[in-house]
Structure 1
Amino acid sequence: MRKAVICFLACLPVWSAASARVLDVTQAQIARLGIRTAPVRPAETQSTVSVLGRVMPAPDSRIPVSAPFAGAVERLLKLEGARVKKGDALAVIVSADMQFAEAKLKGLQAHYQAAKAAAARARSLVDEGIAAASRAEEADAQAASVAADLAASRRAMAQAAATGHGSYNLLAPVDGRISAISISAGEQVAAMQPALSIDTKDEMWVEGQLPANAIGRVAAGDSAMVEELPGATGTVMAAGTSIDPRNRSATVRIRLNSAPGLVSGQTVRLTIQKNAEAGSFNVPRAAVVTLKSGPAVFVARPKGFEPVAVTLVARGPSEATVRGGLKPQDAVAISGVAELKAASQQE
């Protein structure tokens, strides 16, 4: 290969601004040097910045499930990742508090019926002019207080289903997928202790760190792509404008439009993009070289390659956005570029 390069350079005519711009390269030389080309594409988007982030569920999709009554976990009925429906049993918890709560609920139901009847009697006496209005107001307040206690007791019982054996089933409050389990069989749990988490959506987000020099250049609505997974794309939902002194960056939140193979907690790198400038083109990153005159690409011509000066607008992980003397039908060299560069700079 080294001999081929030396021969190639020796056989090329000297190129300068005063001579023809096209470097004469034969098909045999192209094959020998492994020169390949790729078409330029009118740019729709251009890279703004590359950020590192952590995959997480959508902010409004994770629902914690807490044990309504203290007790001991007898067994788990569902595993992490399982799909559940509202009302499905998730775990069995042995609980004396549950038995007490059942008795309390029955007592509150009876108390409420009595308080409601007393309030009705008091209101009737007031209407007949036998009792003062304050008596009815007091009875109404008492009935309302008992009703509030009864509603709270019912809410607690709605999260559990008594088994009749001194235990209860912890129930799923919503449809979704179990994303985390923080209890295990034999473990003691306190009342209202988080036991599981359920994700109600499959939607995933990424929370990333935006470098200080990119603040102001990224905005909601910008597009993003996961560099490790070209099929995974997203949309910027929010971009911070102030720097966190702990990591010298701002926070950017991206909703993933598709996330094949990504899981919550995974670290990924994303390229954030915005609408490209009019008249710009996207070319493979390897096509752009720096000549004495500045950035350039080598455009394929019938008899060789022409170095064309460009303005480098943005550079992404695989593509660069450039502006300059390119046409939509052009193709640029993407390998063997170093040899073309050396030939173009011969004095």
Structure 2
Amino acid sequence: MTQPTQQRTQISQSIMIGGVVTLVALIAAILLWSNKPTEQQKDIASTPETQAKDDHDEGKELALTSKQMAEQGVKLAVVAMGNVQQIESYPAKLMVNTDRQAHVSSSFSGRVEAVHVNLGQTVKKGQALATLRVPDLVDQQANLRIAEANLTLTQQDYQREQSLWSQGISAKQDYQRAYNAYQQAQVQVQAARSRLAAFGVGGNSHGQYVLTAPIAGVVSSKDIVIGENVQLASQLFVIDQLDQLWLEFVLPTDYLSRISPNQELEFKSLQTGNRFKARVQTLNAQADEQTGRLLVRAQVLSQAAELRPNLMVNIELQQTQQSQVIRVLKSAVQQVEGQDSIFIAQPHGDKIEFMPQTVSLGALSTDGQWVEVKQGLKIGQSYVGEGSFLLKSELEKGEADHGH
């Protein structure tokens, strides 16, 4: 190739390279310009709403003055160690106090003529319960009348012999004989009357025997109907005094050191949820061989119409004293974004700032007042004990406003 031809070729290559470089530079400039925000976009990005949203994303905070806190009922508390006491429940049963119960039975065999009370009826001491016709009673009352008639005759004989002996007409031995007969007749009458009185009947009942209430109370059992024949000592009525009931329950043997006579306990009705008090009376000296449990009997101290024999209740006993844990008031816990949270309080100028702190909770006290905090808080931190729901509402309201 000649010299002029080589020069022309080099010139053409230089022009092509220069064109390519120029084209690349032009494309880069166009791309850079298209990615640069406009002035309008800059204005939108810097609006107060957008800035507030950015600030909110950095941390959720609320602030109140002392006056505002007092007006809104927001009260502070301090994270501290304490007990989260829990209650254990055991089934129990209300029982009749057998020391205040009467079993009424007949002292004779006989036929029922009348029943004067109904099951569940309240009776007074001495009130008639039922009337029986008793053949044996007829015989005993007849014996009393015979003894009384014999007493009248022997008395007349004695008085006559006494008069004759005082006049010197009759011998002393006749007078003595009449006196002895009179004394025996008196004893026989007294014995017959005492026998009837022991059964609670008189001499003129004509074979009728009236069962009466030995105590005042409620007829809790009744096993008698008109026309039936009852046997001697058959239990016909049970009368209970329901103003003082017993509470019976069983406990594991490890409770022996935690319960003692005269200790007051609480029990709860399963029907109404109402709580009542009782005082421990007795504990069995030995545990049951099969269950290893102790039978405990307590006297019910509360008076209520709903407390009736055979009612099932729950006895409530405090658990063994546990080690202290970090605890807060249960009223302080709120759900923030689906997590348990406590509003931490920090001074900031003339205001108090509040920030929700996610926590991990543990046991809750049975009375619902305290809750254990396993993670998330430190001892000595100030938190919102009352009024945290208000802060949660304000926080959610702010989030809603930012959403718009």
Shorter-chain TM-score range: 0.5 to 0.7
Q: 1:264 aligns with which of 309, 330, 336?
A: 309
**Is the CA contact (8 Å cut-off) linking 2:106 and 2:235 kept in structure 1?**
yes
User: Take 1:195 and 1:72, find their aligned partners in 2: how far apart are those partners?
Assistant: 13
- Could you say what secondary structure the match of 1:214 adopts? helix
Q: 2:295 aligns with which of 251, 273, 287?
A: 251
- Could you say what secondary structure the match of 2:197 adopts? helix
User: Take 2:151 and 2:83, find their aligned partners in 1: how far apart are those partners?
Assistant: 67
Question: For residues 55-70 of structure 1, what are the structure 2 equivalents within 5 Å?
Answer: 55-70=94-109
The one-letter code matched in structure 1 to 2:356 is G
1:122 matched residue in structure 2: none
Q: Deviations over 1:286-330 (max 9, x none)?
A: x8xxxxxxxxx96555433564877x6x965x6587789699993
Change (3 A) 1:271 1:76: same
Q: Which moved more, 1:188-197 or 1:300-309?
A: 300-309
Q: Which has the larger radius of gyration?
A: 2
Q: CA deviation at 1:226?
A: 1.4
2:198 matched residue in structure 1: 155
2:254 matched residue in structure 1: 213
Q: Which runs of 5+ in 1 are unaligned?
A: 1-11, 14-22, 27-38, 115-142, 288-296, 335-347
1:224 matched residue in structure 2: 266
- Could you say what secondary structure the match of 2:227 adopts? coil
**Is the CA contact (8 Å cut-off) linking 1:204 and 1:259 kept in structure 2?**
no
Q: 1:175 aligns with which of 216, 221, 238?
A: 216
1:330 matched residue in structure 2: 385
Select the structure with the greater relative contact order (CA < 8 A; seq sep ≥ 6): 1
Q: CA deviation at 1:233?
A: 0.8
Q: Deviations over 1:139-196 (max 9, x none)?
A: xxxx999989965642322xx5788453322111122221211223333222222211
Higher strand share: 1
User: Take 1:167 and 1:204, find their aligned partners in 2: how far apart are those partners?
Assistant: 36
Change (3 A) 1:328 1:154: farther
Q: Which runs of 5+ in 2 are unaligned?
A: 1-55, 63-76, 155-185, 334-339, 345-353, 374-378, 390-404
User: Take 2:369 and 2:258, find their aligned partners in 1: how far apart are those partners?
Assistant: 17
1:193 equivalent in alignment to 2:238: no
Question: For residues 91-130 of structure 1, what are the structure 2 equivalents within 5 Å?
Answer: 91-103=130-142
**Is the CA contact (8 Å cut-off) linking 1:51 and 1:270 kept in structure 2?**
yes
1:233 equivalent in alignment to 2:276: yes
2:15 matched residue in structure 1: none
Change (3 A) 1:92 1:148: closer
Q: Which moved more, 1:49-58 or 1:265-274?
A: 265-274
Question: For residues 61-80 of structure 1, what are the structure 2 equivalents within 5 Å?
Answer: 61-80=100-119
Change (3 A) 1:227 1:170: closer
Q: Deviations over 1:213-261 (max 9, x none)?
A: 3332222313212152433412232333531124432111122213442
- Could you say what secondary structure the match of 1:75 adopts? strand
- Over the residues paired in the alignment, what is the CA RMSD in angstroms? 5.1
**Is the CA contact (8 Å cut-off) linking 2:138 and 2:206 kept in structure 1?**
no
Higher helix share: 2
The share of aligned pairs that are identical, in percent, is: 20
**Is the CA contact (8 Å cut-off) linking 1:57 and 1:204 kept in structure 2?**
yes
1:303 equivalent in alignment to 2:346: no
2:168 matched residue in structure 1: none
The one-letter code matched in structure 1 to 2:129 is L
2:89 matched residue in structure 1: 50
The one-letter code matched in structure 1 to 2:296 is V
Aligned length: 256
